[in-house]
Every structure is written in structure tokens, then in C-alpha cells.
Copies of this chain bind each other. A is one copy, B any other.
Amino acid sequence: MVCKEKTLESEYIYKGKILSLRKDLVSVKDGNTSYREIVEHGGAVGIVCIDDEGKVILVKQYRKAVEKVLMEIPAGKIEGREQPYYCAIRELEEETGVISDEMIFLGEFYLSAGFSSEKMYLYFCKVKKQGLQKLDGDEDLEILRLDYEKALEMVYNDEISDAKTAIGIMLSKKYI
């Protein structure tokens, strides 16, 4: 039986725009204590969207945290008390211009549970209508479309290195 760690003390180090950081003193086994550094994050969604030609819509984006351009499924942060389902519809339209009103839930995953509270909700959908991108001022995205089988092969060959994208593409197989 794995024991819950009780919080003995908790201190915020930083409260920011997309994340906050706190340090908790917790009870661990044998009556000992330990510190846990915890990043609080409000959660996010990722969408595997397939167009009329069976292609997956991906976005290329510079990620400062890893100093690289990554190939990812459209994704974004949940705003306040927004429902993940509606967040997925909103983010897909903002990043790609694609309008879809039916999202199939693929699963929810903790990305880095050792230190981060971030949960990723993944959806699958098909393009219903193509509109225009509505990017935030600091977003710079390039859209590309890949055959689903090619994208899956790239996950297996380690050519797609974003975790949510790998999970989403692999889980979508049964809907293709």
C-alpha cells in the first residue's frame, strides 16, 4: 500500500502567467519528511485533426524551453474554468482555422507527474469547415499536413519528439 504524502508546510515561490511554483514539506515513509518542488499548471488540450484527404494537421512552432522548432498537434492551455472539450474546439480554430464541432475524447494524461500538475486532454476530430487562423500576438505557427500513416511512422522512428503528439497520433489509429 503506497501512502499519500501529507502537506506539512507549503510556500509559493512564484505565481506567473502560465505556471506557478511552490515548495511543499511533506510526510514520507518511516515518519520522515521531504521537500517537493511543484509546478502548478491549469491543464491543456491537444487535438488530432484529420482533413478530407486523410491527412493529420500539425503545427511547427519554436519552443523556447527546448530551443527547437517542434512538430506538434494543435494544442493550448485551458483558460480558467473552461471545459477541455470547448477548449479543444477553440484552440483548433485559433491555431489552424479549422472548425470542428465534434471532438472524440482520446484520453487524459499527466505529462510530468514527478513535479508538474499539468494534465493533457487529448481529442480526435475531422475538419468540418476551413476558416482563418486567429493567433495570439506572440504565436508564430506554420501548418503542415501529413498522411496519417506517415505521421505514425515518424512517431515510431523518433522523428516526432513531442509527447502529446506521439500519444495522440498512436491513440487515433482506431478512428482512421
Q: Which residues of A pack against B, CB within 8 Å?
A: 1-5, 7, 13-14, 16-19, 21, 23-24, 26, 28-30, 32, 34-39, 41, 44, 60-70, 72, 75, 77, 107-120, 137-138, 140-142, 155-156, 158, 161-164, 166-167, 170-171, 174
Contacts and interface: CB of A to CB of B under 8 A. Distances in A.
A155 B24 CA distance: 31
Nearest to A165: B109
Given A18-B37, A21-B13, A167-B166, A2 B141 contact: yes
B16 A65 contact: no
- Residue of A5, A18, A65 with most partner-chain B CB within 10 A: A65
A166 B38 CA distance: 22
B113 A162 contact: yes
A174 B34 CA distance: 40
Contacts of A114: 18, 44, 63, 65, 75, 77
Identical copies in the complex: 2
Contact of A117 (B60, B66, B69, B161): B66
A36 to B, nearest CB: 4
B167 A62 contact: no
22 contacts: A1-B142, A2-B60, A4-B62, A4-B69, A5-B62, A5-B64, A13-B13, A16-B23, A17-B37, A19-B37, A19-B39, A26-B64, A34-B138, A41-B112, A65-B113, A75-B114, A77-B114, A107-B158, A107-B161, A108-B158, A113-B162, A163-B167
